[in-house]
Amino acid sequence: MKQKKPVYKRIVLKLSGEALQGAQGYGIDPNMASSIAGQIKEVKDLGLEIAVVIGGGNIFRGVNAARQGIDRSTADYMGMLATVINGLALQDALEKKDVFTRVQTAIEMQKLAEPYIRRRAIRHLEKNRVVIFVGGTGNPYFSTDTTAALRAIEIGAEVILKATKVDGVFTSDPNKNKDAKRFSKLKYIEVLKKGLKVMDSTAISLCMDNKLPIIVFNLIKFGNIKRVVLGDKVGTVVSD
């Protein structure tokens, strides 16, 4: 049987910080980090160029902290630092599987990671390294969803793979409503008009303006990243 080939050459994988916490409910579960690294390696071995944008919600959520009285800009910077911790944890998990990586941060901290430089990031990808983007955009009031859209456009990625805990985008929360229906396809404008929780509106608008598709899928099901890049019908596709 002829082996399927990837339908993409360069992708951005968007991971929430919660993806790393596993069943712990907080922090980083080394087993979950290892599982995610295994899925990334599986895709890497197909010859894809992979960049990862990771959130920090398993450690600190800037928006939540701001609601509790911390200055919003300060809270967002604290959240950006949490993404650096997660990025280093993912780098460690990947390198334990012999995957060469580079962490690039929007907030310079030379002893931990490289500063984000677009041309250098592209060169790393061309040299078969996984690039992990941390520190958000380096600015408060912007989410890591927006970071994923921005970085994907900057490095010329063909798609954003948005990893979640459910099988795509639904009419309502499938964990709370058993009758929730999954969308197989959506247009950007539908996501914005219906207020669907795919990515924040800034990220969706960026993708819409630059015709960058988003695939929302379930990360918990091992092998789903590979299925997505091979073109299988997994999750929900958001495009024009």
Mean pLDDT for the chain?
A: 94
Alpha helices in the chain (DSSP H): 30-44, 62-67, 72-95, 118-126, 144-155, 188-194, 201-209, 224-229
The count of other CB atoms within 10 Å of the CB of residue 100 is: 13
Q: CA 160: distance to chain centroid?
A: 8
How large is the average pLDDT for residues 171-196?
90
Q: Could you tell me if residue 2 is inside a domain?
A: no
Number of domains within the chain = 1
Question: Is 138 buried (19+), middle (13-18) or exposed (0-12) by CB count in 10 A?
Answer: middle
Q: Could you tell me if residue 149 is inside a domain?
A: yes
Q: Could you tell me if residue 120 is inside a domain?
A: yes
3-61 per-position pLDDT tens digit: 789 999 999 999 999 999 988 888 999 999 999 999 999 999 999 999 999 999 999 88
Domain that residue 166 falls in = 10-239
User: Which pLDDT score is estimated for 177?
Assistant: 87
- pTM of the model as a whole: 0.94
The strand pairing partners of 239, in sequence order, are 187
User: Which pLDDT score is estimated for 77?
Assistant: 95
Residues 6+ positions from 77 with CB-CB distance below 8 Å: 62, 107, 140
197-215 per-position pLDDT tens digit: 889 999 999 999 999 999 9
Sort residue 185 into left (φ over 0), alpha (ψ -120 to 50) or beta.
beta
Q: Are strands 101-105 and 169-170 parallel, antiparallel or unpaired?
A: unpaired
- Residue 125 clears pLDDT 90, i.e. is over it: yes
Buried b (16+ CB within 10 A) or exposed e, 209-225: eeebebbbbebeeeebb
Domain CATH code at residue 67: 3.40.1160.10
User: Which pLDDT score is estimated for 172?
Assistant: 85
SS3 content of the chain, % helix, strand, coil (to 5): 40, 20, 40
- Residue 111 clears pLDDT 90, i.e. is over it: yes
Q: Could you tell me if residue 168 is inside a domain?
A: yes
Q: Could you tell me if residue 3 is inside a domain?
A: no
Name the band, by pLDDT with cuts 50, 70 and 90, for residue 117: very high
Give 174 or 13, the one with higher predicted confidence: 13
